[in-house]
Structure 1
């Protein structure tokens, strides 16, 4: 089990999730953040990326890497992390 409540209190974790989604998209389409100058272009980019199975797989792998804790067996937090109320 994962202590989602505590993870979402950590700004670094939220940043990791954001980057896990947007970096593969930008990389695949050869864009930089400066290329996204309107909300319409951001929306179109998201629609195009979700229509592309390759990009979706790369995003899922990136999310997996952001969520998974390699110091524990399986996909879970350690017993001590499950008792946290705030990020350490």
Structure 2
């Protein structure tokens, strides 16, 4: 699996996508809302509940997998063209 990690990690959208891929399955399964996460203690408790639940971990892994894989290419790798990028492509 060849993925251009350097370019992905230089794109702020990738961070948002990855964070949401982790948090959304957790808060959905636990039935809480983002506004319920008002302290770091609560956030820690939520993450501890998620880590102790194999089903939630599986949901998170599938969600992260979907965030990483480029559905526009065959297989699991980035396209040859995408692997040559030095920064995110600007298609304006």
Q: Report the TM-score when normalising by structure 1.
A: 0.96
Q: Indicate the residue corresponding to 1:65 in structure 2.
A: 66
**What does residue range 1-88 of structure 1 map to in structure 2 within 5 Å?**
1-88=2-89
- CA-atom RMSD in angstroms: 0.7
Q: SS of the residue aligned with 2:74?
A: coil
Q: Structure 1 segments of 4 or more deviating over 2 A?
A: none
Q: Which runs of 5+ in 1 are unaligned?
A: none
For 2:9 and 2:16, the matched residues in 1 are separated by 10
SS at match of 1:20: helix
Shift of 1:30: 0.6
SS of 1:24's partner is helix
Stretches of structure 2 that go unaligned for 5 or more consecutive residues are none
Structure 2 distance, partners of 1:49, 1:8, is 25
Shift of 1:73: 1.8
